[in-house]
């Protein structure tokens, strides 16, 4: 049993904490190792902030719970342990004509992590978030019981787990539905759009016709050109549509990244000049006119370089993602974008899209409206800008995404998630002693009465080297 404190971080590498990190090998091992004094599960550490950190306490690594427990090829129903990653599922099932039903923008995420954040993908307006493909899950509770949760059994636990940030119990395994596909390729169109209004119009129009849509907004465009960018839309390609060169290997899977950022780069590497250059390359790449694209580029353009987060340097970065309702959303989106591009920060990679209706989970992030996610390297003033944005998002009736967040405080979180008291009642029912706890939970008030800012602050920004978040095959 490893007991030495290990410094862990989220993907943004901004919040860091010394934790007792242990890796569980089997579901039984999870129960044996679980520290009743305070513990949190960790998948592949792809959340940007602190949901999988527990300063001074236990963090249970789940990635070795990676066994398949059953598969029905007729229905596409897969039962697997919670540490199975989407990358693993793609490698093993895409050659057989199946793909994850819902996928975020990286395949290096576990099923447990996808449930805890109720992750969404480019087709949220059609498919909803991860809960829609989960039939059931087995959850280890704080009192040692393992319960089966589904829409009909322990339904309160089932729904509250989506967006529940691992704070109700450890998901040991889940039964999920995979998507039947004919090919590993997408029919794709890229559309250059000149302004924010035109972009929101284009998104609305294309969302009626394509299940997958996402826009990149030029973070250097101002005034009348604010919001200009490239909208990419697409759908699964059928075998009969592919040219012979692709049809030969229509279910080809990609391997692990061949490139890796070896060290945290010096901050000087990221400056307005270098970012403008990368922005130009990105726009050129996104506007490519090839009609078919492999899933790797279509869904996971960032996965081709392992540990790319190190490019942001020692201070790390954060991703600010929010969703605001459609009503009056255009005006609010313009104001928020203006605040971002006119700030003295270095806004960079970003994604704009429309979301469909919200899910039953009280803390599930997606809701009908516009969502925008944008990376900021951490600099002095980043926190102040995000606080300003939080207020604008709240005024617009929106909320931020905990899977990306590293800054929001308990009062703001409560205001953005009005169903928090309902979720806390479910937490009190299944984990009355607050065994499941994390730095995020203390920061935003997901563990009643334990918001301990001093402890969180003391544990972060330590200076010893960060243990890498164990990317697959990197
Ligand atoms: C490049 C990139 C692109 C991304 N794109 C998107 C996107 O498009 N849409 C989106 O929604 N998200 C996106 N994300 C965020 C990512 O999908 C989520 O943060 C996801 O939850 C990470 O999964 P993980 O296995 O790494 O979990 P971790 O980050 O390790 O943990 C996340 C949460 O899951 C909990 N958890 C993990 N395993 C278990 C378990 N077995 N039982 C209970 N709780 C558990 C942890 O306690 C924690 O609260 C992106 C992240 C990156 C780095």
CA distances from residue 399 to 20, 82, 203, 365 in whole angstroms, order as listed: 32, 28, 21, 7
CA distances from residue 219 to 147, 338, 355 in whole angstroms, order as listed: 47, 10, 21
Question: Candidates 42, 131, 146: which one to mutate for ligand 1, based on the most atoms within 8 Å of Cβ?
Answer: 42
Question: Candidates 50, 111, 112, 127: which one to mutate for ligand 1, based on the most atoms within 8 Å of Cβ?
Answer: 112
| Ligand 1 atom with the shortest distance to the CA of 108 | 26
DSSP string spanning 43-58?
A: SSS-SSSSTT--TTSE
Q: How many CB atoms lie within 10 A of CB 256?
A: 16
**Burial of 121 by CB count in 10 Å (0-12 exposed, 13-18 middle, 19+ buried)?**
buried
Degrees, nearest 5: CA angle 344-348-353 = 120
Contact 19, 5 (CB under 8 A): yes
Q: What residue has token string 């499941």?
A: 436
CA of 130 to the centre of ligand 1 (A): 11
CA of 11 to the centre of ligand 1 (A): 10
* Ligand 1 atom 13 nearest Cα: 104
- The pLDDT profile of the chain, 474 residues, written as one tens digit per residue, is 546 799 999 999 999 999 999 999 999 999 999 999 999 999 999 999 999 999 999 999 999 999 999 999 999 999 999 999 999 999 999 999 999 999 999 999 999 999 999 999 999 999 999 999 999 999 999 999 999 999 999 999 999 999 999 999 999 999 999 999 999 999 999 999 999 999 999 999 999 999 999 999 999 999 999 999 999 999 999 999 999 999 999 999 999 988 899 888 888 888 888 889 988 888 888 988 899 999 999 999 999 889 999 999 999 999 999 999 999 999 999 999 999 999 999 888 999 999 999 999 999 999 999 999 999 999 999 999 999 999 999 999 999 999 999 999 999 999 999 999 999 999 999 999 999 999 999 999 999 765 444 444 444 443 333 333 343 332
> How far, in Å, CA of 71 to CA of 245, rounded?
31
**Ligand 1 pocket residues where CB is under 6 Å:** 11, 40-47, 51-52, 62, 82, 104-106, 109-110, 112-114, 116-117, 119-121, 165-166, 170-171, 302, 403
Alpha-carbon dihedral of residues 195, 416, 355, 157, nearest 10 degrees?
A: 160
> How far, in Å, CA of 373 to CA of 124, rounded?
15
| Ligand 1 atom with the shortest distance to the CA of 120 | 11
* Ligand 1 atom 32 nearest Cα: 113
């Amino acid at each position: 049993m490893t007991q030495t404190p290990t410094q862990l971080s989220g993907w943004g590498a901004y919040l860091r904490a010394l934790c007792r990190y242990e890796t569980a090998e089997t579901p039984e091992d999870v129960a044996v190792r679980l520290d009743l004094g305070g513990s949190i599960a960790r998948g592949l550490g792809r959340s940007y902030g602190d949901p999988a950190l527990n300063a001074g306490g236990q963090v249970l690594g789940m990635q070795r719970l990676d066994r398949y427990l059953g598969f029905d090829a007729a229905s596409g129903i897969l039962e697997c342990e919670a540490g199975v990653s989407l990358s693993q599922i793609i490698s093993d099932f895409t050659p057989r004509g199946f793909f994850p039903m819902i996928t975020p923008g990286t395949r290096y995420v576990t099923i447990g992590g996808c449930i805890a954040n109720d992750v969404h993908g480019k087709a949220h307006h059609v498919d909803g978030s991860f809960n829609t493909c989960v039939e059931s899950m087995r959850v280890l509770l704080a009192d040692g019981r393992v319960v089966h949760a589904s829409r009909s059994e322990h339904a309160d636990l089932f729904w509250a787990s989506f967006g529940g940030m691992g704070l109700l119990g450890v998901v040991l395994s889940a039964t999920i539905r995979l998507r039947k596909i004919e090919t590993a390729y997408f029919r794709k169109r890229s559309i250059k759009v000149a302004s924010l209004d035109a972009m929101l119009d284009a998104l609305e129009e294309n969302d009626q016709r394509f299940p997958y849509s996402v826009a990149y907004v030029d973070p250097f465009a101002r005034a009348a050109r604010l919001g200009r960018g490239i909208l990419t839309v697409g759908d699964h390609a059928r075998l009969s549509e592919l040219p012979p060169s692709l049809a030969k290997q229509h279910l080809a899977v990609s391997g692990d990244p061949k490139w890796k950022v070896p060290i945290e780069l010096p901050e000087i590497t990221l400056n307005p000049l270098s970012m403008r250059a990368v922005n130009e390359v990105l726009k050129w790449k996104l506007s490519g006119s090839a009609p078919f694209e492999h899933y790797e580029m279509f869904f996971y353009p960032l996965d081709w370089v392992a540990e790319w987060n190190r490019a942001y340097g020692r201070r790390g970065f954060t991703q600010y993602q929010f969703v605001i309702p459609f009503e009056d959303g255009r005006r609010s989106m313009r104001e928020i974008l203006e605040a971002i591009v006119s700030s003295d920060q270095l806004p960079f990679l970003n994604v704009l899209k429309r979301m469909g209706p919200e899910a039953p989970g009280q803390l599930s992030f997606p809701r009908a409206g516009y969502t925008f996610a944008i990376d900021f390297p951490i600099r002095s003033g980043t926190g102040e800008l995000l606080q300003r944005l939080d207020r604008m998002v709240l005024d617009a009736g929106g909320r931020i995404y905990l899977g990306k967040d590293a800054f929001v405080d308990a009062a703001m979180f409560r205001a953005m998630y009005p169903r928090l008291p309902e979720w806390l009642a479910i937490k009190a029912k299944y984990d009355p002693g607050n065994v499941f706890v994390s730095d995020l939970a203390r920061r935003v008030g997901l563990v009643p009465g334990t918001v301990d800012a001093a402890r969180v602050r003391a544990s972060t920004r330590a200076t010893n080297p960060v243990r890498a978040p164990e990317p697959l095959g990197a």
